Structure 1
């Protein structure tokens, strides 16, 4: 049973790493489930502090995944129309069956929102949309880095308990 939990945990880790930059797959939450599965084995002693801290970090970063692109829009001079456009574009981009929809959606949403706010200032609209794109890329990078950290914790724990697990 322990080997099955370790194998499922490793699959969750791989899915999580890929999901950190492929929005179709769950990212950091999948990595956390992988850690949880590892700690559910009888061979690995429970570490509630590690699981609790990684859970809180996962929740905070998941929330930030939705906040950072809109903050990027605002930082680059976008109005509330651009911020709303970014958020609406993100939802549409996630649901739309187009490649890179999660990147294109917030960008186009911010651009359209800013053009609705001021249809004469195309340069400002493009700048706000670029802020949205940079916010998304920053968010993806943070997500990816934490997935790699969770994978490192997973692998080091397996290595520590390798004699008992295998």
Structure 2
């Protein structure tokens, strides 16, 4: 018996059993979905951690292939990229200039430090300020660009939750239906 197990009295994953692994996995998935909405928790990363931990602990008999873990990882990356550019895309879609799109990105980065409201207000103010200062836009077009960045950011949040659900559905479909 390894020294840590002897000291802690914990017999390892065999003692926990599959039920404990399922409980841990489901808790991580729920926390990940909450994290898709609450910006303090890295939602998609927590969902991926749940899938990887499940596969790693239960091994090849887990019913989850490493291909599915890879696909879940790609979904995480795609969602992060979409979330990063959604505010800028919203500003452009609402008629903003490249300055407004750039301001939305800068505002989104700065807004991360002022959670949770900074994630919406950062791109809005960033797009507005960049439109007004650098593109020399009047108040109304600059504000429209700012509102567009906020709409884009909210769309990114909706997509983030949907991708989180797809990641979890992919996990369960591989575990229960593919194998």
What is the count of residue pairs matched by the alignment? 159
TM-score, reference length from structure 1: 0.83
Matched residue, 2:4 = none
User: 1:120: Cα distance to partner?
Assistant: 5.5
Separation of aligned partners in 2, 1:63 and 1:120: 28
Cα contact 2:68–2:174 (8 A) shared by 1: no
In structure 2, list runs of 5 or more residues that go unmatched.
1-12
Bigger share in helix: 2
Q: What's the CA shift for 1:119?
A: 5.0
Q: CA deviation at 1:151?
A: 3.0
**Which structure has the larger Rg over C-alpha atoms?**
2
Residues 22 and 12 (structure 1), Cα distance of their counterparts in 2 relative to 1, 3 Å cut? same
**Aligned twin of 2:23:** 7
* CA root-mean-square deviation: 2.2
Gaps of 5+ in 1: 162-166
Whether the aligned pair in 1 keeps the contact of 2:65 and 2:174 (CA below 8 Å) is no
* Comparing 32-41 and 4-13, the one that deviates more: 4-13
Residue matched to 1:70: 88
Say which SS state the counterpart of residue 62 (structure 2) adopts. coil
Question: Any idea what the Cα deviations from partners look like across 1:89-119, whole Å, max 9, x if unmatched?
Answer: 11111012x5411111111111111111355
> Where does residue 164 of structure 1 map in the other structure?
none
Question: Does 2:134 align with 1:114?
Answer: no
TM-score by length of 2: 0.78
